Structure 1
Amino acid sequence: MTLLMFPIGQCLGTHFTGTAESQVHQVRLGSEIVELTAEEFTVWALAHSLPDDSGPWERSRIIDLLTDSEITNGAVLIDRLLSRSLLAEVDLDSPAGFATRHRLLPLHLGLGNTAGTPTMFRSGTLELALAGMTRTLYDLWLSGHLSPNLLIACKEHDAELPAVLTALHSLLAPTAACLDLAVQEF
């Protein structure tokens, strides 16, 4: 059983309400804006994975990386973020429940492919490609947000859900996409 860890929500940045000690990190979760402490935000941000990291992104990897920091209560913070729906642990053997409760939102510009690499589709800025993906994942990334949830989007794009989830951190790490709460079916 492989349990992958995913961050849920879109980062809205750091906000100061007076002094430096009063900073909060805001994340949009569905239609709500939630505030995270610096430690919570570190854990949430780390759940996106690290660029060029190809291994499965699991709870234990996050906790291991936190042990090298000043954050000593990583497991407690993960549990707190899970209870607030800001993190999700997904069993790749039974991901349908997760996929019906969440959807994928694109955050970069779609850059398409090139004549030199016609099978690799990219996203990023006009000056710099930041993420690369297959045609199937690119199509899902581009228009999956038009579906009420990730499960329906995968079916509409003929994409295998476990394969999408396995590749998802390659889009989350460079903030090419975010996971958000599902919406009502149209």
Structure 2
Amino acid sequence: MNVYPVGHYVGERHPEGHHLVRVGQTHQSMSEAEFGVWVLAHGVAGSPEWTVEDLLALAEKAELPDARAATDKLTGIGVLVAGNEVAFAQTHRLMPLLVGLGNSELHPDRFAVGLPGLPPVAVLDESGYELWQWGHLAPSLWHTCEVRAAVADEPVSAQDHLGGVLRDLRPVLAGGCGYLDVLSRAHQRLY
């Protein structure tokens, strides 16, 4: 079962040493170990599938204490999501971070994202770049699936596009060039 981190990191608070992540209109506080688990939940570049087991294996390598307990707690407060991917897509949206750096003559089908003047933090294929660039205009990831289904050459459903959207999502998260947020109450009423 894939795991996804939710929220936008807003920094560490001193003297408590807690990390804050904004989810919707609230802040969630995390200990150092919990924050480490949340960071690892972003996944690694080149791994479109990133499961709770992958996260826990990497946490063990990094010697993070009580990673299983932290994962359970973070799932309980909504900063980690693992499970029903349709429900996840219907209740979360992608928000972009950083700047689109475009493609190159050498690789016209690959698009860089990062900060001007620095090496890119992610290089996305056309589909992933489209999600990064336009995903925030959709009220949810599920809506993105519906749009992709509507413009497909063959009749397909939004469900048929879910796997592709989630695969496109991982390099955006792993590169730190976007974050997931919960839908606003107004958007939730639409679903």
Q: TM-score, normalised by structure 1?
A: 0.86
Matched, 1:35 2:25: no
| Mean Cα deviation higher: 139-148 or 36-45 | 139-148
Is 1:126 matched up with 2:120? no
- 2:92 counterpart of 1:102: yes
Q: Deviations over 1:26-73 (max 9, x none)?
A: 1010111221111110110110113x4426211111212222344342
C-alpha deviation, 1:80, in angstroms? 0.6
User: Which structure has the highest helix share of the two?
Assistant: 2
CA contact (8 A) 1:140 1:154 kept: no
Distance 1:140 1:169, change over 3 A: closer
Equivalent AA in structure 2 for residue 87 of structure 1: L
Asked if the contact 1:139–1:157 (Cα under 8 Å) also holds between the matched residues in 2, the reply is no
TM-score by length of 2: 0.84
Aligned residue number for residue 81 of structure 2 = 88
What is the CA-CA distance between 1:157 and the residue it aligns to?
4.3
SS where residue 67 of structure 1 aligns? helix
Identity %: 31
Structure 1 residues 3-14: aligned runs within 5 Å: 3-14=1-12
Q: Is the contact made by 2:128 and 2:172 (CA closer than 8 Å) also made in structure 1?
A: no
SS in 1 for 2:121: strand
Q: Is the 8 A contact 1:25 1:37 kept in 2?
A: yes
Which of the residues 47, 50, 72 maps onto 1:54? 47
- CA-based RMSD of the aligned residues comes to 1.9
Q: Residues 130-169 of structure 1: matches in 2 within 5 Å?
A: 130-158=121-149, 160-169=161-170
Mapped partners of 1:54, 1:34: distance in 2: 27
The answer on whether the counterparts of 1:136 and 1:157 sit within 8 Å (CA) in structure 2 is: no
The Cα shift of 1:108 comes to 1.4
Q: Does the 8 Å contact 2:141/2:165 carry over to 1? A: no
Judged with a 3 Å threshold, the aligned counterparts in structure 2 of structure 1 residues 70 and 140 are, in CA distance, closer, same or farther, namely closer
Mark the runs of 5 or more structure 2 residues left unpaired by the alignment. Answer: 150-157
Unaligned runs of 5+ in 1: none
Deviations 1:81-100 (A, max 9, x none): 00100000145xxx221101
Where has structure 1 moved over 4 Å in runs of 4 or more?
Answer: none
- Alpha-carbon distance in 1 for matches of 2:60, 2:90: 33
Number of aligned positions between the proteins: 176
| Residues 118-175 of structure 1 deviation map (CA, whole Å, 9 limit, x = unaligned) | 1111211112222111222212211211111111123224582211212322111220
